[in-house]
């Protein structure tokens, strides 16, 4: 019996390549906007206490009740306004399942978080992109025009924007919320670093949905927990499309413990904000480097031959950052996540060393060329 080829999947998959989080090893990993520190030891102790009697044999609470209630209280909302997901990524996908799909449209503002476009593609949602200006500011008038003309179902904005780090004017976001009945997803994955939120505008705008995550400030990237805040009717619709048990009970317990004890993260968050300034200042002093202002836990910068710098950082110094230089609007751009003060120093010294060496070689070549 011959083994016949399997029937083709949906045609939409032809243009996609599987997500490959290249498992590159390095001593200093500054590539994925994670917190450089593990959860504080006093929080870990609480988690261990709760692990002792943990019921691994029972299905999770599909609504993540304990965590949902804590998040609601902290935000002055009701549990019905909160939805917990398997990372913020799952909630973005759920929004596309419920408000996107064939015949429907999502608008994003690239360069931005790539999952918006990927999820649009997978769900068959038409993607309208309004490119940012060269300084990564949102083209506000173009967004408002598109929303007025194109019958958009979802508008998504990362605020601060990943990977560029900048915030968008609150007054523009209010105009946008007023201008449309589309879902406006304001992705606040870096809220704990920027301390800016659209939360105060929820009561006046039922189309405002805010996304947060435990993966960045709260050191839980390995567990996959995120949440969104929205109108109870919006949350209700999302609960129809989501996988009921997507957030396992262990992750719920750990995230709830972390959220209760979130004051214990304040120190590391302010250290990271200081580290961001250390990196921005350090890079700005280097000749040929353009630094973009950031309100998050990473810094975007532009430098000639960025991909070569990326390689030299990794192979010569075992420092891993993220290369965006092939992305549209991001020519010669690299993004570095803020690490510990020691890691930040090591990164800055490595960049300085590589660029100085480059300049010396260039000078030598030009002198030799004259001779």
Ligand X SMILES: *Cc1c(COP(=O)(O)O)cnc(C)c1O
266 neighbors 60 (Cβ within 8 angstroms): no
The DSSP annotation for 256-320 comes to HHHHHTGGGGHHHHHHHHHHHHHHHHHHHTSTTEEE---SSSEEEEEETTHHHHHHHHHHHH-EE
Torsion of CA 60, 192, 183, 249, to 10 degrees: 0
168 binds ligand X (CB under 6 A): no
- The encoded tokens of residue 310 equal 């990326």
The helix/strand/coil state of 170 is helix
Helices and strands (H, E) in the chain, number of each type: 12, 13
252 binds ligand X (CB under 6 A): no
| Of 176 and 217, CB closest to ligand X | 217
275 binds ligand X (CB under 6 A): no
Among 26, 37, 221, 286, binds ligand X (CB under 6 A): 221
Site for ligand X in 28-57 (CB under 6 A): 33
Number of residues that bind ligand X (CB under 6 A): 14
Phi, psi angle pair for 41, to nearest 5°: -65, -35
> How far apart are the two ends of the chain, measured CA to CA in Å?
74
| Of 197 and 215, CB closest to ligand X | 215
Minimum Å distance from CB 145 to ligand X?
24
| Of 276 and 317, CB closest to ligand X | 276
312 binds ligand X (CB under 6 A): no
- For 122-133, letters b (16+ CB in 10 Å) and e give bbebbbbbbbbe
The contact pattern for ligand X, residues 101-140, with x = CB under 6 A and - = no contact, is ------------x---------------------------
The stretch among 22-30, 50-58, 81-89, 330-338 that binds ligand X (CB under 6 A) is 81-89
The helix/strand/coil state of 83 is strand
The DSSP annotation for 103-166 comes to T-EEEE-SSS-THHHHHHHHTTPEEEE-PPPTT----HHHHHHHHHHS--SEEEEESSPTTT--
26 binds ligand X (CB under 6 A): no
The stretch among 2-10, 21-29, 211-219, 269-277 that binds ligand X (CB under 6 A) is 211-219
165 binds ligand X (CB under 6 A): no
**Cis status, amide bond into 163, omega within 30 of 0:** yes
Minimum Å distance from CB 188 to ligand X?
9
213 binds ligand X (CB under 6 A): yes
Among 158, 166, 294, 325, binds ligand X (CB under 6 A): 158
What does the alpha-carbon distance between residue 173 and residue 205 come to, in Å, rounded to a whole number?
A: 11
93 binds ligand X (CB under 6 A): no
Minimum Å distance from CB 204 to ligand X?
24
Minimum Å distance from CB 113 to ligand X?
4
Minimum Å distance from CB 115 to ligand X?
7
192 binds ligand X (CB under 6 A): no
153 binds ligand X (CB under 6 A): no
Phi, psi angle pair for 335, to nearest 5°: -120, 130
* Interface residue list for ligand X (CB under 6 A): 33, 87-89, 113, 158, 162, 187, 189, 213, 215-216, 221, 226
């Amino acid at each position: 019996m011959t083994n016949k080829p399997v029937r083709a999947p949906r045609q939409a998959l032809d243009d996609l390549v599987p997500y490959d989080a290249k498992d590159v090893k390095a001593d200093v990993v500054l590539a994925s906007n994670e917190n450089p520190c593990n959860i504080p030891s006093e929080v870990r102790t609480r988690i261990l206490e709760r692990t002792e009697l943990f019921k691994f044999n029972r299905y999770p609470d599909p609504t993540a009740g304990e965590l949902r209630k804590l998040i609601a209280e902290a935000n002055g909302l009701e549990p019905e306004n909160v939805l917990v997901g398997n990372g913020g990524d799952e909630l973005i996908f759920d929004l596309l399942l419920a408000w996107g799909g064939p015949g429907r449209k999502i608008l994003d503002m690239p360069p931005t978080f790539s999952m918006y476009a990927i999820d649009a593609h997978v769900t068959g949602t038409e993607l309208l992109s309004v490119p940012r200006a060269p300084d990564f500011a949102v083209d506000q008038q173009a967004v408002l025009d598109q929303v007025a003309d194109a019958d958009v179902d979802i508008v998504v904005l990362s605020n601060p924007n990943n990977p560029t780090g900048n915030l968008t004017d609150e007054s523009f976001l209010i105009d946008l919320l007023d201008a449309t009945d589309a879902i406006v997803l304001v992705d606040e994955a870096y809220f704990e670093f920027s301390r800016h939120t659209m939360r105060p505008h929820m009561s006046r705008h039922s189309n405002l949905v805010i996304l947060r995550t435990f993966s960045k400030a709260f050191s839980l990237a390995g567990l996959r927990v995120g949440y969104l805040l929205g109108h109870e009717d919006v949350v209700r619709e999302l609960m129809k499309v989501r996988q009921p048990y997507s957030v396992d009970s262990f992750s719920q317990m750990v995230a709830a413990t972390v959220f209760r004890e979130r004051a214990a993260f304040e120190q590391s968050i302010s250290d990271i904000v200081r580290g961001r300034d250390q990196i921005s200042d350090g890079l700005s002093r280097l000749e040929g480097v353009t630094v973009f202002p950031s309100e998050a836990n990473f810094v975007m910068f532009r430098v000639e031959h960025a991909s070569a710098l990326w390689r030299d950082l990794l192979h010569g110094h075992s420092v891993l950052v993220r290369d965006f230089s092939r992305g549209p609007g991001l020519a010669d751009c690299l993004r570095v996540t803020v690490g510990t003060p020691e890691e930040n120093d090591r990164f800055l010294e490595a960049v300085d060393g590589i660029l100085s060496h480059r300049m010396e070689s260039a000078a030598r070549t030009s002198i030799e060329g004259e001779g």
